[in-house]
Amino acid sequence: MNAPLRLPSPRGTFRVWQRNMTIFRKYWKTILFPNFVEPLLFLAALGLGLGAFIREGGVQGMTYVQFIAPGLLASNAMFAASFESTFNTFVKLKIDRIYDAIVTTPVNAEDVVAGEYLWAGTRAALYGTGFLAVLVVLGFTLSPEAPLISSFWALLIPPMLLVIGVMFSVMGTLFTSLIQRIDLYAYYFTLIVTPLFLFSGIFFPVDNFPAPAPQIAWFTPLYHAVNVCRELAAGPSPAVLVDIAWIVVFTLILALLPIRFMRRRLIS
């Protein structure tokens, strides 16, 4: 069946976002806490623990903690948006049937999907902003001469985390729109999210690896998200524009697929 592609309406998108925000405001303290602590654990274990073994000079002229901290901002956004668009969306779609109720109102299926994208991005940005604030304070307290965040360009990190969150939400929603059983997320996280987390240049620079490792990395989303956060944290070079453009183009191209698939699942 080749139904015409329907684009989301801003109004309906906002209503779905607003529904999620209403719930978030009731439970934000309990929701935020784990997402907030997790990157700190990574920072402590790898940055301080493993970092102690990395000799003077560090990585690319940074201490190891300085190197990994902005990357963890990016991966944190990926995890936040991925959980939102997988487990949470699945529950709303198939268990609580929230979307079935919404699509009988003037809010259409395509608005539901777009609203969820925007919400996942918002959630990623909210987590990231809190984490960023901790990094700023922690960095200046621990070593004022080499802070974790050293540029005012870092103020652009929260809006970029929103965009990065939307990107990972689009990927997660695409997977959600194709599966029938919640157990299948194990595949998504093991085969997509975890490899991205490990091999996108958060813990070691991939650019210096022999071909084709850097070339492969260039085609993956988190690699660019890590670059953007790292550049903004330390003061960006023009190359950051390529990473941002990659993220925007990839997101826009992919965003229409889940809209189509989810509409097919909600409207028979």
Which residues in this chain contact another protein in the complex, by CB under 8 A?
3, 11-12, 15, 18-19, 22-23, 26, 96-98, 100-108, 266-268
Residue closer to another protein (CB basis): 37 or 264? 264
- How far separated are the first and last CA of the chain, in Å rounded? 11
Minimum separation from the CB atom of position 29 to another protein (A):
15
Task: Look at residue 62 and give its three-state secondary structure.
Answer: strand
Minimum separation from the CB atom of position 88 to another protein (A):
10
Residue closer to another protein (CB basis): 126 or 226? 126
Handedness of CA 162, 138, 223, 88 (dihedral sign): negative
Residue closer to another protein (CB basis): 9 or 129? 9
CA distances from 82 to 29, 77, 88, 172, 190 (A): 20, 8, 9, 6, 12
Contact criterion met (CB below 8 Å) for 114 and 16? yes
Beta bridge partners of 59: 62
Minimum separation from the CB atom of position 148 to another protein (A):
36
Minimum separation from the CB atom of position 8 to another protein (A):
12
Residue closer to another protein (CB basis): 20 or 66? 20
Minimum separation from the CB atom of position 255 to another protein (A):
21
Residue closer to another protein (CB basis): 27 or 152? 27
